[in-house]
Amino acid sequence: MSFVPTLLFSLTHLQLLPTTILLSLLISSGTISAKFAQATEESLSHSRENLSEEVSFKRTNSLANGVYLYGRSPEPEIMGQEYLVFKVQKGEVIGAFYMPRSEFNCFSGSFDSRQINLSIVDPYDGIEYDYSISLRVVSPVANHDQQASEVTLEGYYRLGSLSNNDQRILNACLPSG
């Protein structure tokens, strides 16, 4: 790595000088060309965006402790639609997939950096199947919340409070005691 990119990297990450001032100084001193400076600025800008997005995701890569209801439909209890009811406790997930007026399948799992990894139990033979659901971070700008980003499940809508049936299904999957 040459001196100029090393200097740019050090100064922009330590934020000693704004990148545009640093690049102007290097151009005026003849150390670098204007085209190189423009390409470097674009590259650094893109890197900062990716780093900011990655840090934001890692900071909020799971749902907070609590009970959740998600559905493939934005409305609860729609026949033929899949729903998930689950409890999150310290990054661990226990719950069930179900369709209204049908069977349900209990699952357990945990979060990793980009998804929930679940082990679903077949209610008939007890065999476990692996299944993953991608996580999506909704930015504060997108959800009009200035406080924090929200993590949601890709392909599902977060629904309001649990019905008595949702609670019954969840309780059947939670360990007793």
Most confidently predicted of 15-19, 38-42, 61-65, 118-122: 118-122
95: CB partners within 8 A, 6+ apart: 68, 84, 85, 86, 87, 106, 107, 170, 173
Minimum mean pLDDT among 57-61, 124-128, 163-167: which range? 57-61
pLDDT above 70: percentage of residues in the chain: 59
pLDDT of residue 139: 67
Judged against a pLDDT cut of 50, whether residue 98 lies above it is answered with yes
- The DSSP code sequence of 131-161 is EEEEEEEEPTTTTT-SS--EEEETT-EE--S
pTM reported for the whole predicted model: 0.62
pLDDT confidence tier of residue 84, bands split at 50, 70 and 90: very high
Q: Contact at 8 Å (CB) between 117 and 109?
A: yes
pLDDT above 90: percentage of residues in the chain: 51
User: Kind and range of the H or E element at 171?
Assistant: helix 164-173
pLDDT of residue 176: 82
Amino acid found at 72: R
pLDDT of residue 113: 85
Q: What is the mean pLDDT of residues 90-97?
A: 96
